[in-house]
């Protein structure tokens, strides 16, 4: 029986990495500093640095911290709406909370403000596909293609492009994309085993 590449490479691995970043920033109280990279608007967003919840060893930490981060981010963005980093972080936070429609709205604003950010295009495409039943459509496909124009070696974009090609039964294209992923990540990276499994699945479909 031929294996499914979808079972080998989760389309959400890039999303999970972004969510991990959100939680790390929140628990360390660093999410405000992250947004200060947008210099002028960052100053307006810096007012709640001391209000972030302290780090906790509890497994429930994110359930307490992330909703508070989302509320504070949204409130601050109301007064500094041109902060692209802030909107991106809000999108990641909503994604982690499972609030995909809200995440999509935030990513759409972030991309408008940061049109040359390949990471944002990938995160938006991945979240869009997740919101539509893990299926790619013209909109998510265009986002991935744009990400690859901005950064031809972007591992997240190549991974999603491979998944899209696999779903369309273009197995050769899927293998090409995923082999480029393998060439770009360290040998010990956890994603390597997933990508190798996906390549094997695609090659099975290519056999007569």
Helix (H) or strand (E) holding 6, with range, is helix 5-8
The two tokens of residue 96 are: 């982690």
Domain boundaries, the chain: 9-114, 137-208
C-alpha 28 chain-centroid distance: 20
Per-residue pLDDT of the chain (208 residues; tens, 9 = 90+): 444 444 444 444 444 444 444 444 444 343 343 344 443 333 333 333 333 344 444 444 555 577 877 888 888 899 989 999 889 989 988 988 889 999 999 999 999 999 999 989 998 998 898 898 888 899 999 999 999 999 999 988 998 899 899 889 999 999 999 999 889 888 888 888 888 888 888 899 888 7
For domain 137-208, the CATH superfamily is Tetratricopeptide repeat domain (1.25.40.10)
Per-residue DSSP letter, 152: T
The CATH architecture to which 9-114 belongs is Alpha Horseshoe (1.25)
Q: Count the residues in the chain.
A: 208
Asked if 89 and 110 count as a contact pair (C-beta separation under 8 A), the reply is no
Are the C-beta atoms of 179 and 173 separated by less than 8 Å? no
d(CA 16, CA 25): 14
* Fold match, 9-114 / 137-208: yes
pLDDT on residue 186: 87
76 touches 47 (CB < 8 A):
yes
CA atoms within 13 A on the CB side of 90: 26
Residue 68: CB atoms within 10 A of its CB come to 15
Provide the terminal-to-terminal Cα distance of the chain, rounded to the nearest Å.
14
Here the tokens at position 118 are 């390949």
The H or E element that residue 191 is part of is helix 191-206
pLDDT at residue 64, as a whole number: 55
CB 174 within 8 A of CB 6: no
Which one, of 103, 48, 104, 50, lies nearest residue 80 by Cα? 48
Half-sphere exposure of residue 157: CA atoms within 13 angstroms, side-chain side:
20
Q: What per-residue confidence (pLDDT) applies to 188?
A: 85
- The span from the CA of 124 to the CA of 139, in Å, is 10
Cα–Cα distance between 157 and 180 in angstroms, integer? 11
**118-131 and 138-150 are packed helices; what angle lies between their axes, rounded to 10 degrees?**
160
């Amino acid at each position: 029986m031929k294996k499914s590449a979808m079972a080998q490479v989760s389309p959400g691995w890039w999303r999970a990495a972004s969510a991990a970043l959100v939680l790390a920033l929140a628990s360390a109280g660093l999410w405000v500093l992250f947004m200060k990279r947008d210099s002028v608007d960052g100053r307006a967003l810096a007012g709640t640095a001391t209000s972030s919840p302290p780090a906790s060893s509890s497994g429930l930490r994110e359930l307490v911290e992330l909703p508070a981060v989302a509320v504070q981010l949204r409130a601050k963005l109301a007064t500094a709406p041109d902060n692209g980093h802030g909107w991106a972080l809000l999108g990641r936070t909503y994604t982690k909370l499972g609030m995909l429609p809200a995440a999509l709205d935030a990513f759409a604003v972030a991309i408008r403000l940061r049109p040359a950010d390949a990471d944002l295009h990938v995160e938006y495409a991945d979240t869009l596909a997740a919101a539509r039943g893990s299926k790619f459509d013209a909109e998510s496909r265009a986002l991935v293609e744009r990400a690859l124009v901005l950064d031809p070696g972007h591992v997240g974009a190549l991974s999603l492009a491979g998944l899209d090609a696999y779903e369309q039964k273009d197995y050769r294209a899927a293998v090409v994309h995923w082999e480029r992923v393998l060439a770009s990540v360290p040998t010990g990276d956890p994603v390597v085993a997933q990508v190798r499994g996906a390549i094997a699945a695609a090659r099975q479909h290519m056999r007569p």
